[in-house]
């Protein structure tokens, strides 16, 4: 056997071994750019509420986990193409996404909110503190009308492929100029630079940014939940993978009962965002 063949064989053999080692580990995809849900430490390590929760859930499942990074806009396609087995990336459970993948029960909930820079004409809109869009009551409808008037012709920035983009595209707040970005970090940058009149995302994403950057970002209008905003954040799993889905559902039950979810949520959000 010449050296060339030897090399090929040893490479193939080692690939086989690596493949086997990873086979019984659950691979979980996350974005690493949506604090406090998931982000990266300065050393480049994945951290955040979902990273910690993922390891906890895997302990309950009784299997080892690897957490891998994936850009947000390719998250669902990557799951379908088996680059990993589950998504834990602050992904809300929506009817649109459920056409493509399954979701476990929700483990945490977030409210969305508009944010503007201090001093903006959109600051302090006259709306209730929060509205639910699943069955909008008269207050919610009035708030949407106020928003439609205030946002007409304004540029509102969102991260691409999010519930926030879906909401703006749905026309519930009329014709706004929607600008989409690859990451929430980029949305924050352009909100601060003044290119965006307003931005829409999880309320915690803005408070986290305001705290860390010291920029005068303030929330405005009502907080949004229900409807296009989905029903909480769950683990995304391939449709044919019912075994893993059941395992995650059971693990979430246990983690909730033992108070793990609310403990980890309080640690990262500053309040109990568990559900």
Q: Which of 133, 179, 201, 229 binds another protein (CB under 8 A)?
A: 179
Which stretch, 14-22, 50-58, 73-81, 117-125, contacts another protein (CB under 8 A)?
73-81
Tokens at 275, concatenated = 């559900």
Of 116 and 251, CB closest to another protein: 116
Q: Does 77 bind another protein (CB under 8 A)?
A: yes
Q: Which of 7, 22, 121, 193 binds another protein (CB under 8 A)?
A: 193
Q: Does 70 bind another protein (CB under 8 A)?
A: no
Q: Does 71 bind another protein (CB under 8 A)?
A: no
Tell me the closest approach of the beta carbon of residue 55 to another protein, in angstroms.
Answer: 27
Question: Is 160 in contact with 166 (CB distance < 8 Å)?
Answer: no
Tell me the closest approach of the beta carbon of residue 133 to another protein, in angstroms.
Answer: 19
Question: Is 235 in contact with 86 (CB distance < 8 Å)?
Answer: yes
Q: Does 161 bind another protein (CB under 8 A)?
A: yes
Binding positions for another protein, 99-118, rule CB under 8 A: 100-101
Q: Does 139 bind another protein (CB under 8 A)?
A: no
Q: Does 165 bind another protein (CB under 8 A)?
A: yes
Q: Does 73 bind another protein (CB under 8 A)?
A: yes
Of 96 and 253, CB closest to another protein: 96
Q: Does 177 bind another protein (CB under 8 A)?
A: no
Q: Does 172 bind another protein (CB under 8 A)?
A: no
For 14, phi and psi rounded to 5 degrees? -70, -35
Nearest residue to 181 (alpha-carbon basis) of 156, 159, 162: 159
List interacting residues with another protein (CB under 8 A).
Answer: 73-74, 76-77, 80, 96-97, 100-101, 157, 160-161, 165-166, 179-182, 186, 189-190, 192-195
């Amino acid at each position: 056997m010449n050296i060339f063949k030897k090399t090929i064989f040893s490479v193939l053999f080692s690939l086989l071994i690596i493949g086997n080692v990873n086979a019984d580990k659950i691979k979980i995809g996350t974005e690493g750019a949506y604090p406090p849900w998931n982000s990266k430490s300065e050393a480049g390590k994945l951290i955040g509420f979902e990273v910690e929760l993922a390891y906890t859930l895997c302990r309950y499942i009784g299997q080892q986990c690897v957490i891998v990074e994936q850009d947000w806009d390719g998250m669902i396609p990557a799951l379908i193409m088996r680059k990993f087995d589950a998504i834990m990336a602050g992904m809300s459970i929506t009817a649109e996404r459920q056409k493509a993948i399954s979701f476990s029960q929700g483990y945490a909930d977030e409210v969305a909110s508009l944010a503007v820079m201090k001093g903006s004409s959109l600051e302090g809109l006259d709306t209730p503190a929060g509205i639910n869009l699943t069955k909008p009551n008269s207050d919610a409808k009035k708030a949407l009308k106020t928003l439609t008037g205030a946002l007409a012709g304004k540029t509102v920035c969102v991260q691409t492929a999010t519930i926030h983009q879906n909401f703006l595209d749905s026309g519930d707040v009329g014709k706004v100029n929607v600008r989409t970005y690859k990451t929430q970090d980029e949305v924050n940058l352009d909100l601060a630079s003044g290119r965006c009149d307003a931005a829409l995302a999880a309320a915690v994403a803005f408070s986290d940014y305001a705290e860390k950057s010291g920029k005068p970002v303030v929330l405005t209008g009502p907080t949004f939940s229900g409807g296009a905003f989905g029903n909480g954040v769950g683990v995304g799993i391939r449709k044919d993978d019912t075994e893993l889905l059941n395992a995650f559902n059971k693990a979430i039950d246990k983690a909730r009962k033992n108070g793990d979810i609310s403990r980890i949520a309080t640690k990262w959000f500053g309040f109990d965002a568990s559900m």
